[in-house]
Amino acid sequence: MLRTNLATRPFYNERIVHAVLGAVALVAVLVLVTSAIRLSALFREQTALTAAAQTNEQRADEILDETAELQRVAGTAELDLLAAASREANRLIDQRVFSWTEFLNRIEATLPNDVMLTSLRPDVTDRVVGVQIGIISQSVDAIDRFIERLEGT
């Protein structure tokens, strides 16, 4: 039987253990300091965002008050005038939506050599575009060919 007490044997690598424990403690302190710095930055950012949010809410309230004041001041007559102007603008936009360039290109492509275009009169009403075309030719057959080509497109 062994009669040696292993607890009494000297441990010769104490320096390595102290170095490892010191390195772990240093890393822990660095993590703690880094976390404290980051926490401080986050608190400052939260304070700035809270102040910006309060400023934006105050500005929104001011804009709502101004809008209510403008609606109160502007009577129904002005709103009716504005609505009429808006309808007129929409009507003009609808007229512009029709592609005259494409229309004239189709006419040019279908127009025979012995037919001459004399007039082109548009009529735009309620989203419907009508066009009266005046042409002249020496033969009725040429006019018939032109009409057939237009109908074909």
Which pLDDT value is given to residue 147? 87
Which pLDDT value is given to residue 2? 55
- List, for residues 20-52, the tens digit of each pLDDT value: 999 999 999 999 999 999 999 999 999 999 999
* Contacts of residue 145, Cβ cutoff 8 Å, sequence gap at least 6: 112, 115
Final residue in a domain of this structure, among 57, 73, 89: 73
- List, for residues 99-152, the tens digit of each pLDDT value: 778 888 888 888 888 889 888 888 877 667 788 888 888 888 888 888 888 888
In a domain, 117, yes or no: yes
Q: How far is CA 112 from CA 100, 102, 103, 131, 153, in A?
A: 20, 18, 16, 19, 14
In a domain, 3, yes or no: no
| pTM of this structure | 0.36
Where does the chain have alpha helices with state H? Answer: 14-73, 76-97, 100-110, 140-152
In a domain, 57, yes or no: yes
* Contacts of residue 138, Cβ cutoff 8 Å, sequence gap at least 6: 114
- List, for residues 51-75, the tens digit of each pLDDT value: 999 999 999 999 999 888 877 777 6
Other Cβ atoms less than 10 A from the Cβ of 42: the count is 10
3-state secondary structure of 131: strand
- List, for residues 91-100, the tens digit of each pLDDT value: 777 666 667 7
pLDDT bin (cut points 50, 70, 90) of residue 80 is confident
Contact 92, 118 (CB under 8 A): no
Which pLDDT value is given to residue 21? 93
Domain assignment of residue 121, given as a range:
98-152
Final residue in a domain of this structure, among 73, 89, 112: 73
In a domain, 121, yes or no: yes
**Token couple for 78:** 């002005």
Q: Residue 121 forms beta bridges with which residues? A: 132
In a domain, 84, yes or no: no
Final residue in a domain of this structure, among 39, 73, 107: 73
Number of domains in the chain: 2
In a domain, 46, yes or no: yes
